[in-house]
Amino acid sequence: MTNHPPPSQLVCDLVRRSDRAALATALPGAAGTGSWPYASLTLVTVDHDLSPILLLSDLADHSKAIASDDRVCLLFDGTAGFDQPLTGPRVSLLGRATPTNDARLRGRYLAHHPDAGMYAGFGDFRFYRVALERAHLVGGFGNIHWLPAADLVPGAQAGALAAFGAAEGDILAHMNADHADAVQLYAQRLLGLAGTGWKMTGIDAEGLDLRFGGQVARLVFEVPLSGPGEARAALVGLVAKAKAA
């Protein structure tokens, strides 16, 4: 029998590594015809509690659909590189999308998608937060699970999630401005990636996110952090590990 990581961990790993997903909404139909399923590609960032953050134009069909029916589904595809794609992982996150003016969510999204800053301030664009209700994981043949939102990130971690959310912006600014060489070491020595313009775009209890142009990567901590107060020691430790590699 094949041993799999816990389903909740598979979900977290996949969605945190992804910068895009297929967004499905219920597109309003003509009078008397009802709604119609509609899916297309969207850029996405997940918050520390895995709630997806979206940036959509009011002119987009998805925005019109959400205004009528706030239920959405986001499919994250982790099957790239598998000889048999159906043996690879994919996750569908189901929840309700609501417009948000939360500056922290805006900052987290734009850190992961810096090019979106060119149009995020336009009057017809707005951010959405998806309040998760459940997730569907297909981790390969025979590894299929429905998980309630509460199982994805336990409530006991709520304090740590809030603390990371509050501290993240300062950590990213400090690392990218004052320790850019360390960020390059993470990408090149620990992840084996090419390029010299890597930026840190996110940090949470389980790892950190990196970006270089259109390429994204994730570096997972060997031991999850209990709060942002442990971030400095963890980041310094990764530098030492990278230099020894």
What does pLDDT average to over the chain?
93
Q: Is the pLDDT of residue 2 over 60?
A: no
- Express each pLDDT in 150-178 by its tens digit: 998 866 577 788 899 999 999 999 999 99
| pLDDT value at residue 47 | 96
The mean pLDDT value for 181-203 works out to 97
DSSP E strands, 52-89: 52-57, 71-77
The model's pTM: 0.93
| pLDDT value at residue 70 | 97
Top-level CATH class of 7-153? mainly beta
Q: What pLDDT band is residue 38 in, cutting at 50, 70 and 90?
A: very high
Q: Domain extents for the chain? A: 7-153, 159-244
Q: Which CATH number fits domain 159-244: 3.40.50.1000, 3.30.70.1450, 3.40.190.10, 3.20.180.10?
A: 3.20.180.10
As a whole number of angstroms, the distance between CA 45 and CA 35 comes to 27
- Express each pLDDT in 205-224 by its tens digit: 999 999 999 999 999 999 99
Please provide the DSSP assignment of 152-221 as one string: HS-GGGHHHHHHHHHHHHHHHHHHHHH-HHHHHHIIIIIS----S--EEEEE-SSEEEEEETTEEEEEE-
